C-alpha cells in the first residue's frame, strides 16, 4: 500500500497525470521528468491498485483517461514516445529527442497489459470484496501510526470475512464519524496523509454504491419485501452488465408494485427516490462500460501506431539502442543479448511482424559459470536485465529463460552471502550525490555474470530486486525483504531505493529516494505473486502475443555441452 501511495500521491494533476521519475525523501523533491517506462508502469500500477482494492473502477477510468489524454498531447516519432519529457511543460527534456528501443518495448508491453486488464474489469464485480480488504489494510496501517484521531480509535473495521451488508453499514458510520472529526483532527507529516486519505477511500466506495448500485443502500431496506427477490442477488455477482440488467428488472418491479406503494406515502416517496437513483445508475453504468472499452481501444491504437521496423539495424538484424530524432539516425550500438531488458522489445517487434523471427535467435546466448551455476551472460549482471521482462512475459518451466532466471537469483544470493549482506544487486541510485545534491544512478551488477569488463557491484543492494525475484524464489525473496525491513530500510513510500555498502564500513548508507519504474515493478511483482501471475495473463491475453509466445519456450543448452564450451 505504501508503494501504491507513490503513484496515487504523485500521479495526479501536479504532473499532468504523469508520474515523476523519482522522489527524494529530503524535502520530498520531485524529479519532474518522465520516461515511457515510467508511464507504462503508472498505467499498470493503477490496474494493480484495482485488483488489490485500493481503487474503484470509476476512479481507475477517470485517472487513466486523464493520463491517456496527456499522452495524446506528447510529441512522438512514428508512434514512439521520446525517452524523456518534462511533466510540467510536456516538452521533450532535451533539444535532441531520442527514441529508446527498450523504453518503447516496455511502454507497449504496458499498453497491451492495460488493454486486456481494462476489458477484464467489465467482467469483474463492481463492489468486489477486495475493496473492503484494501480499506481494511489501509485502516490497519493508520491505526499502527503513533497519532490516531478518535474515529480511527473508535471505528475498528469489520473482520476480513465480514459480509458486504456489514461493511456498508460500517462505511456509513465511518463517513459520519470522519465528517464530525474533520475540523478538529490535528495531524502532521506522514500521519497526516494517511489520515486524510482514509475518509477519501470510505467516500470512494460509498460513491460507487450510491451512483452505480443504489439499491444496496440501507435506506431502501423497507422496499425489499415488496420487490420479492429483486435485491437478494449477491453483490459480488454484479458486474457492469449484470447491474445494468438488474436496473431494468428493478424498475419493472417498482412499477408493478406501485399500486401497493401509494397506499403508504413514506414507501411511495422511497420508491420514487429509488426509481430516480436506478435511472441515474443505469446512465453511470453505461458510461463506465464505455469508459473501459474506450481505454482498451486507446491503448490498442497506441500499440498499433508504434513502428519498430526502423529501429532494427539493417545489417545485424537486431534492435538498435535507439533513434536520434533530430539527426534521423540509428544509434550504432545494438541490444544483442537475450539476457537483457531488450528482449521484450524484440519480442514485441516480432509479434507485430515488423522484424523477422530470426532476430530473436540473433540475440547472444553466451553462458558463464558462476558460483556453481550456468547462466546466460547479461551486459552488466543486473537483476533488472534478467527479471524485468518476466513481469509481463511468461517463463515456461525447464526452458532457457526459466533456467536463466533461477540461476540469476542463485548467483545473486551466493554473491551476497560471501559479503554477508542482503542480496539483490541491480541498476539503482547510490549514496554519492551530484553537484545539485541529487543521488547518483548506476547499473550495479554481479561481475561474474556480466559481459562488460567494468561491471561493478558496488556493493549497492536494491530492495526492488527482491520484489522482482518473487516470481523465481518467493520464500527467499520475502525473507530477504523482511531482513531489509527490520534494518529500517522502509520509508513513506515503501522500501528505499537502495542501501549502499561501498564505503566498506559494514553499515550501509541508505539511498532515501523512490524511483517510479522500480516502484512500479515492485507493485506488479506483488500482484503477480498474490493473483496467480495476473500481469502475465493480461499481457498474454493479446492475440499477437499468443501468436509469438512459442519463442519463450526455447529449450536450454544441455549441461554437458555448456561444460565443454566453457573449457574451450
CB 141 within 8 A of CB 152: no
Q: How many CB atoms lie within 10 A of CB 178?
A: 21
Q: Note the residue count of the chain.
A: 568
- Gap between the Cα atoms of 375 and 141, Å rounded: 41
Distance, CA of 542 to CA of 557 (rounded, Å): 30
Q: Count other Cβ atoms within 10 Å, centred on residue 184.
A: 8
The grid coordinates listed for 55 are 481503487
Instruction: For each of the domains in the chain, give its residue range(s) and CATH number, in order of start.
Output: 2-121+307-567 (1.50.10.140), 129-279 (no CATH)
How does pLDDT run along the chain (568 residues), one tens digit per residue? 899 999 999 999 999 999 999 999 999 999 999 999 999 999 999 999 999 999 999 999 999 999 999 999 999 999 999 999 999 999 999 989 999 999 999 999 999 999 999 999 999 999 999 999 999 999 888 877 766 666 666 778 899 889 988 999 999 988 888 877 665 555 556 678 888 898 899 999 999 999 999 998 888 888 877 655 544 455 557 899 999 998 988 888 888 887 887 888 888 888 889 989 999 999 999 999 999 999 999 999 999 999 999 999 999 999 999 999 999 999 999 989 999 988 999 999 999 999 999 999 999 999 999 999 999 999 999 999 999 999 999 999 999 999 999 999 999 999 999 999 999 999 999 999 999 999 999 999 999 999 999 999 999 999 999 999 999 999 999 999 999 999 999 999 999 999 999 987 778 999 999 999 999 999 999 999 999 999 999 999 999 999 999 999 999 877 776 667 666 5
CB 107 within 8 A of CB 337: no
Residue 324: the pLDDT is 96
Taking the CA atoms of residue 315, residue 316, residue 318 and residue 320 in that order, the dihedral angle to the nearest 10 degrees is: -70
List phi, psi (to 5°) of 427. -65, 135
Pairwise CA distance, residues 429 & 447, whole Å: 18
Burial string for 377-403 (b: 16+ CB within 10 Å, else e) reads bbbbbbbbbbbbbbbbbbbeeebbbbb
Report angle CA 206, 493, 15 to the nearest 5 degrees.
Answer: 75
Question: If DSSP codes are grouped into helix, strand and coil, which group holds residue 127?
Answer: coil
Residues β-bridged to residue 514: 23
- Nearest Cα to Cα of residue 220 among 163, 171, 269, 253: 269
Handedness of CA 23, 24, 28, 32 (dihedral sign): negative
- Give the Cα separation of 128 and 213 in Å (integer): 12
CB neighbour class for 233 (10 Å; exposed up to 12, middle 13-18, buried from 19)? middle
pLDDT score recorded for residue 39: 98
Residue (of 1, 42, 285) closest to 133 by Cα position: 1
Burial-class residue 198 by CB neighbours within 10 Å (0-12, 13-18, 19+): buried
Residue partners of 442: CB distance under 8 A and separation at least 6: 427, 428, 430, 456, 458, 460
Residue found under cell 494517511: 194
The answer to whether 342 touches 99, Cβ cutoff 8 Å, is no
Rounded-to-integer distance, Cα 423 and Cα 417, Å: 7
Strand partners, 500: 460, 509
Closest CA to 39 of 96, 113, 95, 97: 113
The per-residue pLDDT for 232 is 47
Amino acid at each position: 500500500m505504501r508503494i501504491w501511495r507513490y503513484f496515487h500521491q504523485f500521479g495526479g494533476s501536479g504532473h499532468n497525470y504523469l508520474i515523476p521519475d523519482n522522489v527524494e525523501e529530503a524535502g520530498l523533491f520531485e524529479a519532474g521528468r518522465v520516461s515511457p517506462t515510467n508511464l507504462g508502469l503508472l498505467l499498470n500500477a493503477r490496474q494493480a491498485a484495482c485488483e488489490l482494492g485500493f481503487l474503484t473502477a470509476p476512479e481507475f477510468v477517470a485517472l487513466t483517461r486523464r493520463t491517456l489524454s496527456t499522452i495524446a498531447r506528447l510529441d512522438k516519432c512514428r508512434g514512439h514516445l521520446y525517452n524523456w519529457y518534462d511533466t510540467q511543460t510536456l516538452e521533450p527534456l532535451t533539444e535532441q529527442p531520442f527514441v529508446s528501443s527498450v523504453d518503447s518495448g516496455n511502454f507497449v508491453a504496458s499498453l497491451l497489459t492495460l488493454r486486456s486488464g481494462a476489458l477484464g474489469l467489465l467482467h469483474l464485480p463492481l463492489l468486489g470484496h477486495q475493496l473492503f480488504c484494501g480499506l481494511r489494510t489501509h485502516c490497519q496501517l493508520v491505526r499502527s501510526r503513533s497519532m490516531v484521531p478518535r474515529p480511527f480509535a473508535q471505528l475498528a473495521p469489520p473482520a476480513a470475512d465480514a459480509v458486504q451488508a456489514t461493511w456498508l453499514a460500517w462505511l456509513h458510520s465511518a463517513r459520519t464519524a470522519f465528517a464530525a472529526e474533520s475540523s478538529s483532527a490535528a495531524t502532521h507529516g506522514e500521519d497526516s496523509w494517511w489520515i486524510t486519505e482514509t475518509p477519501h477511500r470510505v467516500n470512494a466506495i460509498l460513491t460507487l454504491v450510491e451512483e452505480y448500485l443504489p439499491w444496496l443502500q440501507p435506506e431502501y431496506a423497507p422496499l425489499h419485501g415488496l420487490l420479492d427477490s429483486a435485491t437478494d442477488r449477491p453483490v459480488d455477482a454484479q458486474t457492469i452488465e449484470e447491474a445494468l440488467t438488474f436496473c431494468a428488472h428493478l424498475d419493472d418491479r417498482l412499477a408493478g408494485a406501485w399500486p401497493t406503494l401509494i397506499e403508504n406515502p413514506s414507501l411511495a416517496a422511497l420508491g420514487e427516490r429509488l426509481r430516480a437513483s436506478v435511472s441515474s445508475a443505469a446512465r453511470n453504468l453505461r458510461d463506465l462500460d464505455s469508459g473501459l472499452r474506450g481505454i482498451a481501444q486507446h491503448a490498442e491504437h497506441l500499440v498499433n501506431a508504434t513502428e519498430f521496423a526502423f529501429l532494427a539495424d539493417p545489417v545485424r538484424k537486431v534492435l538498435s539502442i535507439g533513434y536520434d530524432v533530430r539527426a534521423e539516425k540509428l544509434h550504432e550500438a545494438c541490444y544483442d543479448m537475450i539476457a537483457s531488458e531488450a528482449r521484450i522489445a524484440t519480442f514485441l517487434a516480432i509479434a507485430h511482424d515488423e522484424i523477422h523471427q530470426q532476430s530473436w535467435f540473433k540475440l547472444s546466448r553466451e553462458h558463464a559459470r558462476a558460483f556453481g551455476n550456468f547462466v546466460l551472460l547479461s551486459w552488466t549482471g543486473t537483476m533488472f536485465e534478467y527479471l524485468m521482462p518476466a513481469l509481463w512475459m511468461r517463463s515456461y518451466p525447464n526452458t532457457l529463460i526459466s533456467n536463466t532466471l533461477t540461476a540469476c537469483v542463485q548467483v545473486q544470493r551466493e554473491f551476497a552471502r560471501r559479503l554477508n549482506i542482503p542480496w539483490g544487486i541491480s541498476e539503482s541510485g547510490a549514496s554519492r550525490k551530484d553537484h545539485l545534491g541529487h543521488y547518483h544512478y548506476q547499473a550495479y551488477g554481479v561481475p561474474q555474470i556480466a559481459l562488460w569488463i567494468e561491471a561493478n557491484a558496488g556493493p549497492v543492494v536494491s530492495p526492488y530486486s527482491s520484489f522482482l525475484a518473487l516470481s523465481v524464489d518467493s520464500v527467499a525473496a520475502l525473507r530477504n525483504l523482511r531482513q531489509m525491513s527490520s534494518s529500517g530500510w522502509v520509508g513513506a513510500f515503501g522500501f528505499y531505493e537502495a542501501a549502499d555498502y561501498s564505503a566498506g564500513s559494514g553499515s550501509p548508507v541508505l539511498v532515501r529516494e523512490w524511483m517510479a519504474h522500480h516502484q512500479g515493478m515492485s507493485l506488479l511483482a506483488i500482484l503477480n505473486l498474490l493473483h496467480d501471475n495476473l500481469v502475465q495473463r493480461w499481457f498474454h491475453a493479446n492475440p499477437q502475443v499468443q501468436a509469438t509466445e512459442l519463442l519463450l519456450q526455447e529449450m536450454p543448452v544441455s549441461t554437458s555441452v555448456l561444460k565443454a564450451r566453457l573449457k574451450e
